Structure 1
Amino acid sequence: MGELCVHSVLVTGANRGLGLGFVQHFLRMPKPPQGGRPKPPQWIFATCRDPKGQRAQELKDLASKHPNLVIIALEVANPASIKAAAAKVAEHLGGSGLNLLINNAGMVKPKTLDSETLEDMTETYTTNTAGPLLMGQAFLPLLKKAAQGSLGSGLSCSKAAIINISSIGGSIASSFGWDMMQVTSYRCSKAALNMLSKCQSLAYREHGVLCVALHPGWVQTEQRCPAGHMPPVTVDDSVQGMLKVLSSLSEKETGTFLDWEGNVIPW
């Protein structure tokens, strides 16, 4: 297994849940011995909708102690907001590129199939599928720059990568959790996100950018769960597992759908 060693990373939806977990783990990466290759990213860009709001307080507390953590306002359903965020990230990076883009921001509406509406489907799809599409487009120039500046050959997350946080709920071959949560708009949006990940892997391979869809497990986050059902995976365990998977990815895995332990999930 290789080492995950990135100069810069951007995480969307970073004020809570898995996004915040990613930020905390990147900040905790051990400092190297003198003269060793740096382990913690020089830049960690944490985005959320309202950086000044109460829900971003934990993120703000972290940023006050870590100068390499930069909080940026971003609404993934808003193209103008994405463009402005990309410009700010480029400004901080100077002439260097972005190694790792983690499209984590997402939403779910706990509805049955019969109660889904056009508004629910549109809003969920816009956030969970169109958002990562627009993020990939906006940040591709910075990802290409990182890939061009890398000494290694082939593809890796230490070079340049887009990681789309998906769900086994988007697997057409699996009916995981149907009896507990139908959440049809969520399932459809994640199935579409899986196809987007495949498309990105095909289009961006020539630029040196690895792309995968990653299922984080059924995680204990603030997203609503059915009564009496506690998800088995903690945020900490999920993020730790996903980072281990990311450290091992190469061109063989670009365009695949994996879980937090590195297992292939059927489409």
Structure 2
Amino acid sequence: MLSARSVLVTGSNRGIGLELVRQLVGKSKGPEWVFATCRDPEGPRAQELKNLAAKYQSVKILQMDTNDPSSIKNTATKVTEKLQGNGLNLLINNAAIVRVGTLESETAEDMSEVYKTNVIGSMLVTQAFLPLLRKASQKSPQKGMSCSKAAIVNMSSEAGSITNLLAWEYGHVINYRCSKAALNMLSRCQSLRYAEDRILCIALHPGWVQTDMGNTEGLAPLTVEESVQGILKALSHLTEKDTGTFVNWEGAPVPW
């Protein structure tokens, strides 16, 4: 069972991020803190998240633009203050964007923008929260690795699998595919670097999900609720043998 005391989710105002927050706080023994970050917490697209925060004291909404290093640093400072000497158990790098197009129509601007958010943003967020993840790992009485102790979950996609290239026939989305392949490499590197800290690092494919992003190339087969139920169940079973791997929402391995 996932029993992380504190969780941070980026891109939490809609889609998978919002549902992760909803299901985490809906558990009978949910986290003490769920830090829900998004670029515009005051905007209309964050209303559902604000409703959750009004209902559950454990939800703390924080403004964070993963493309802005100073914004990330400010958020890390606020989270550190809230945790009052405790560490952060689970970081879920979920914020991501896509720009629809073909291989022929792909532009340098779209490629750069998507890579900046999906790869560089995740890297910067992890760097900023690493001290808190290390602290959580050091303070935990648990042996080995787990998502309840200290973990980095990078929300990837089988669309970035070089072996499988999920849904190629439905859309090229080159910027998205390349960014997720790069995120997978980042996850693997993090797992090697932070093994000595006992921080579990994973790349996770949430499925082809019915979200604003998932439906850009037609109706996706998996509901957000089903995906997140599976994700949380899968995360609860991960151990040190899984660190540095690429798995799907059911915990099954995905080829690189």
Task: Give the alignment of 1:185-204 within 5 angstroms.
Answer: 185-204=175-194
Task: Give the alignment of 1:252-267 within 5 angstroms.
Answer: 252-267=241-256
**CA RMSD for the aligned pairs?**
0.9
Aligned partner of 2:32 in structure 1 is 42
Task: Give the alignment of 1:141-220 within 5 angstroms.
Answer: 141-220=131-210
Residue in structure 1 matching 2:124, options 105, 112, 134:
134
Aligned partner of 1:117 in structure 2 is 107
Aligned residue-pair number: 256
Aligned partner of 2:2 in structure 1 is 4
- Cα distance change on mapping 1:122 and 1:92 into 2, 3 Å: same
TM-aligned CA deviation for residue 226 of structure 1: 5.2
Task: Give the alignment of 1:14-29 within 5 angstroms.
Answer: 14-29=12-27
Does the 8 A contact of 1:147 with 1:209 survive in 2?
Answer: yes
Runs of 4+ in 1 over 4 A off after TM superposition: none
SS of the residue aligned with 1:257? Answer: strand
Letter in 1 for 2:121: G
Letter in 1 for 2:61: I
Report the Cα distance in structure 1 between the residues aligned to 2:57 and 2:18, rounded to whole angstroms.
16
Does the 8 A contact of 2:208 with 2:214 survive in 1?
Answer: no
TM-score (norm 2): 0.98
Report the Cα distance in structure 2 between the residues aligned to 1:224 and 1:62, rounded to whole angstroms.
23
Letter in 2 for 1:59: L
TM-aligned CA deviation for residue 175 of structure 1: 2.6
Report the Cα distance in structure 2 between the residues aligned to 1:175 and 1:252, rounded to whole angstroms.
25
Per-residue CA deviation, residues 82-127 of structure 1 (Å, 9 max, x unaligned), is 1011001001001000000000000011110111111111100000
SS of the residue aligned with 2:95? Answer: coil
SS of the residue aligned with 1:205? Answer: coil
SS of the residue aligned with 1:207? Answer: coil
Per-residue CA deviation, residues 67-90 of structure 1 (Å, 9 max, x unaligned), is 111000011111111101100100
Aligned partner of 1:83 in structure 2 is 73
TM-aligned CA deviation for residue 225 of structure 1: 3.0
Report the Cα distance in structure 2 between the residues aligned to 1:197 and 1:152, rounded to whole angstroms.
23
Does the 8 A contact of 2:160 with 2:166 survive in 1?
Answer: no
Does the 8 A contact of 1:180 with 1:226 survive in 2?
Answer: no
Residue in structure 2 matching 1:235, options 215, 224, 246:
224
TM-score (norm 1): 0.94
SS of the residue aligned with 1:45? Answer: strand
